[in-house]
Amino acid sequence: MWLLHRCSLWRATKPINCWDNCGTKFGRLSFEVIKKLTDTKYDAIVIGARCGGSPTAMLLARKGYKVLVVDRATFPSDTISTHLIHPPGVLALKNWDLLERVTATGCPPIDTYSFDFGPLTISGAPGTKECPVAYGPRRTVLDKILVDAAAEAGAEVREAFTVTDILTEGDTVVGIRGHSRGGEPVDEHARVVIGADGRNSTLAKAVDPDEYNQKPPILAAYYSYWSDLPVDGRFEVYSRPHRGFAAWPTNDGLTLVVGGWPYAEFEQNKSDFEGHFMKMLDLAPAFGDRIRAAKREERFAGAAVYNYFRKPFGPGWALVGDAGYNKDFITAFGITDAFQQADQCAKALHESMSGERLFDEAMGEYQRKRDEHAMPMYEMTCDIATLEPPPPELQQLLGAASRSQEAMDQFARVNAGVMSPAEFFSEENASRIFANAH
């Protein structure tokens, strides 16, 4: 399931510039638009206050920018998410001085990634010395921490605020129109509006950015939470032909269990998805016994998602997180990706708003870095989501890896986003794995 069947190499292409700058900071924008931008109340408005939006707002506010972040939800609140933070995402929390807040909630660390393929199991350490573990905090916990951090940095946070329209001057986004619950409509203007409002982003719908590398839904998956199902700090993955599931610990002594089947089976299974889910778990009999001795504490949630990249910037706007790039959640990289993109997007916007670089130059680099970093994991994720058995040559490599702790650690780090798939599956490294197998 969470196995890279093959490494697809991707070559970056030059992004299309949305602004014809002609050597000026504002390009060919009209005087009226320039005046609107320079007279705005905010430097940035962020739509969406969860894992992409609040960190972006926080980082910009820490740079001294006047930031407004809005969300239709109030916090704490839940959202559909498998909420695993791989070590690179944990490192971001550490760099933002927020990791201790997460650990203070009692969320247990995950120090082992275990992949059960039936005939063999690979168990390794996913992280590095700098950040050795992963965490799986509930979104009710994590998102509240992020929202509070944005507010503490100086961002204005408006909860229960619905954006109804994106304001434009010509082709340039200049603000938002929206309202609080029961409130009158208000207009707010900014130098840049950032969409961090997920797959169905209001901003993305308004600006209609180019999409590329799209793939249809591949996997239908469901998850819930069980008590009395200890996993002892492990991210447990079980891969079976056309079925896959995983479990890891979260807050309040609960364990998240997620699993699914090919999207082609969605319609035929949806009337009794719980029965199919439990039957799937019996494909690993020991795990099936464990979960039947446990207690399910919450309703099931499920999803099947469209896979895409969107151009993440244009005149007066930017996209971060799932609003700009989304893939199947089988590899659980949504939060980690959002954190890394928040860092990159905030850096690029600072370079632009401070006058260091032209907007499309700084944001073009943001797009290139995002795509270069994300594309291998995107292809890996979409390949894994098919739930097809690994080909014979890969089975041989995994068999050899299972006899070397060094190789098992490497495999865990690939699935944690710490080691590149290209490096692990290189001819040189594969030869080393076979030579060290014992």
DSSP state, residue 63: T
DSSP state, residue 259: E
C-alpha span between 278 and 275 (Å, rounded): 5
Does 357 have pLDDT greater than 50? yes
C-alpha span between 307 and 199 (Å, rounded): 10
Q: How confident is the model at residue 38 (pLDDT cuts 50, 70, 90)?
A: low
Q: What tokens appear for 341 in the block?
A: 């993109």
C-alpha span between 278 and 284 (Å, rounded): 11
Mean pLDDT of the chain: 92
Does 10 have pLDDT greater than 90? no
Contact 254, 105 (CB under 8 A): no
Residue range 194-199: mean pLDDT, rounded: 98
Residue range 270-277: mean pLDDT, rounded: 97
With a pLDDT cut of 70, the percent of the chain lying above it is 91
Q: Identify the pLDDT of residue 239.
A: 97
Does 16 have pLDDT greater than 80? no
112: nearest Cα among 210, 231, 14, 272: 231
161: nearest Cα among 145, 173, 147: 147
Residue 383, Cα to own-chain centre: how many angstroms? 17
Residue range 384-405: mean pLDDT, rounded: 95
Q: What is the pLDDT of residues 100-113, one digit of tens each?
A: 999 999 999 999 99
Residue range 33-46: mean pLDDT, rounded: 73
Q: How many residues does the chain have?
A: 438
Fold of the domain spanning 219-303: D-Amino Acid Oxidase; Chain A, domain 2 (3.30.9)
Q: What is the pLDDT of residues 295-305, one digit of tens each?
A: 999 999 999 99
Task: For the chain, give every domain's residue range.
Answer: 31-79+138-215+308-384, 219-303
Beta strands in 300-354 (DSSP E): 301-303, 307-310, 313-314, 317-319, 325-326
Residue range 267-283: mean pLDDT, rounded: 97
Does 3 have pLDDT greater than 80? no
Q: What is the pLDDT of residues 360-374, one digit of tens each?
A: 999 999 999 999 999
CATH number for the domain formed by residue range(s) 31-79+138-215+308-384: 3.50.50.60
* 3-class secondary structure, 72: coil
Q: Name the more confident of 2 and 236.
A: 236
C-alpha span between 153 and 124 (Å, rounded): 37
Does 5 have pLDDT greater than 50? no
Contact 134, 141 (CB under 8 A): no
End-to-end CA distance of the chain: 25
Q: Identify the pLDDT of residue 6.
A: 42
Q: What is the pLDDT of residues 409-425, one digit of tens each?
A: 999 999 999 999 989 99
Contact 331, 302 (CB under 8 A): no
Q: What is the pLDDT of residues 40-85, one digit of tens each?
A: 799 999 999 999 999 999 999 999 999 999 999 999 999 999 999 9
Does 288 have pLDDT greater than 50? yes
